[in-house]
Chain A
């Protein structure tokens, strides 16, 4: 019965606990001893704290896998070396292009990119607003003596004033509606793909592929519903909208560490692999003994020899060298030659 405890990853548990405590401390300090904490958001706070714990746990387990650990170590060692400086511009452009705009999805399909960009932008913008609100880091008050001037407080300090009914107020109070709209359009575009593309239909599953889209759609529709309700329906459906919205958002938060949404935290590793390749190219390329052409960086080939060893694979050849020294084309040719030789030895090419 206690197997679950012995199966827990100690290091990950420690990291996750530290992250969780840190968040709680930040909430406490950032909301000025909870004075600015909005008690109505307590359920969202619990969801977020759990998500932080879960994400950190899974992330820590993930970076312990041999291939991931190798990239992880290589990346940080490089970042803190003096050779990293020339790459700073490259990393920043890559971050904007490939993380903020996910441009690499475009070559996979135009609507695929538009759909995902809307999903991701809507969600990330919404996080940027709701997390500080939930943590009590931002709150709004009326300027004393007025009825239409709002003051925004960050960490308890008044940072800006704006007039009710003005452009800033409109956007500040409606940004989540824009986010919802983005996510709804994005989710519908993605759902359309999943309904019409034969390849996706054959390989998708409800839990991994449909659930995330359905959940995002439910969050956004009920979120928009809240505004719709108080704007046009005099709050008649408020109870329903607020409860379903809270439930779907909390499900989303709690599920991040386990399901598809974990990719949000895995993706930055893409930056690491791009830097790794660029730096590897500077150090020198590996040449395939069969084709005589460069096919990968020597750093990569050497690292893979180490990683495969750690994973209990051993491609070392008897006369020295390794099967991994061959390019993919060289490997295919080696297999074909070996099969041909066996047929030749047999004396009959067709059997």
Chain B
């Protein structure tokens, strides 16, 4: 699934996520279900962080890892990363629905569609981004939790934050294509 020469993917535009700004309105979920690559099924995740104690919500898109754990653990070679660094949803004829990717993704992204025995996940709205448009979710987010644009734009918009794309999960470091907004000067986000 390498991007063909006719692909108009704009490498200057990037995804910047600030989940602390998420208000749980689920506009992105509705927009995601409009994406033609996943046919009416929203792939974005919106959920309460700790429902018993707070109303904080979080939003999660695929981070498009440099060395994706999901693709590594797939026994069917169903997940591929293309030349633009986009990690695609499972190849429909190969995926055997084993859920390895669902459990191994450090960001909890892939979804297993039980009846269809198929994994599906966010593919950065490839139908849109491959022609230079923004992903659906980022066009509707009212709170700025999801932003898709250039580094220049985000620097102006969020002068006191820095985008980070290095994450630590225990002993594991993960580098991603998608950024998370952190306090200025941060270079990584340690999760555990």
Contacts and interface: CB of A to CB of B under 8 A. Distances in A.
B26 to A, nearest CB: 15
Given A98-B117, A313-B172, A351-B160, A342 B36 contact: no
Contacts of A269: 75-76, 96
B20 A340 contact: yes
A316 interface: yes
A343 B183 contact: yes
Interface string B106-117: 111110010111
A96 to B, nearest CB: 15
B10 interface: no
10 contacts: A71-B98, A105-B116, A199-B39, A296-B99, A301-B103, A322-B170, A327-B108, A331-B106, A332-B107, A342-B189
A119 to B, nearest CB: 11
A11 interface: no
Contacts of A330: 108
Nearest to B93: A263
A324 B107 CA distance: 10
B45 to A, nearest CB: 6
Interface in B24-56: 35-39, 45, 47, 49-50, 56
B94 A263 contact: yes
A289 B120 CA distance: 25
B36 A202 contact: yes
A324 B116 contact: no
Contact of A328 (B49, B109, B161): B109
A270 B56 contact: no
Given A336-B49, A349-B20, 14 more contacts: A65-B75, A67-B100, A70-B75, A104-B115, A202-B126, A296-B99, A323-B169, A335-B58, A335-B167, A336-B58, A346-B183, A350-B20, A351-B158, A351-B181
Contacts of A340: 20, 49, 56
Given A108-B92, A315-B170, A348-B160, A339 B180 contact: yes
Interface of A: 62, 65, 67-68, 70-71, 98, 104-105, 107-109, 197-199, 201-203, 205, 208, 260, 263, 266-267, 269-270, 273, 276-277, 296, 300-301, 304, 307-308, 311, 313-318, 322-324, 326-340, 342-343, 345-346, 348-351
Given A65-B75, A315-B170, A107 B103 contact: no
Given A202-B127, A332-B45, A323 B191 contact: yes
Per CB-CB distance, the 3 closest pairs between chain A and chain B, nearest first, are A328-B108, A198-B36, A351-B160
Interface in B66-113: 69, 72-77, 88, 92-94, 96-100, 102-110, 113
Contact of B20 (A62, A267, A343): A343
Contacts of B96: 266-267, 269-270, 273
B93 A199 contact: no
Nearest to A262: B94
Given A331-B108, A333-B50, A68 B75 contact: yes
Contacts of B58: 332-333, 335-336
Interface in B152-179: 158-161, 167, 169-172
Nearest to B46: A332
A335 B107 contact: yes
Greatest chain A CB density within 10 A among B99, B170, B190 is at: B170
A333 B47 CA distance: 8
| Secondary structure class of chain A's binding surface, majority of residues | helix
Interface of B: 1-2, 4, 19-21, 35-39, 45, 47, 49-50, 56, 58, 60, 69, 72-77, 88, 92-94, 96-100, 102-110, 113, 115-118, 123, 126-127, 130-131, 158-161, 167, 169-172, 180-184, 186, 189-192
Given A199-B36, A314-B170, A339-B182, A304 B103 contact: yes
A71 B100 CA distance: 11
Contacts of B103: 296, 300-301, 304, 324, 328
Given A340-B20, A343-B20, A270 B117 contact: yes
Contact of B116 (A108, A301, A313, A315): A108
A308 B104 contact: yes
B49 A333 contact: yes
B172 A315 contact: yes
Contacts of A317: 169-171, 192
B107 A339 contact: no
B117 A198 contact: no
A336 B56 contact: yes
Nearest to A261: B93
Contacts of A332: 45, 47, 58, 60, 107-108
Contacts of B191: 323, 334-335, 338
Interface centre among A322, A328, A348 (most CB of B within 10 A): A328
Contacts of A339: 19-20, 180, 182, 189
Contacts of A105: 116
B95 to A, nearest CB: 9
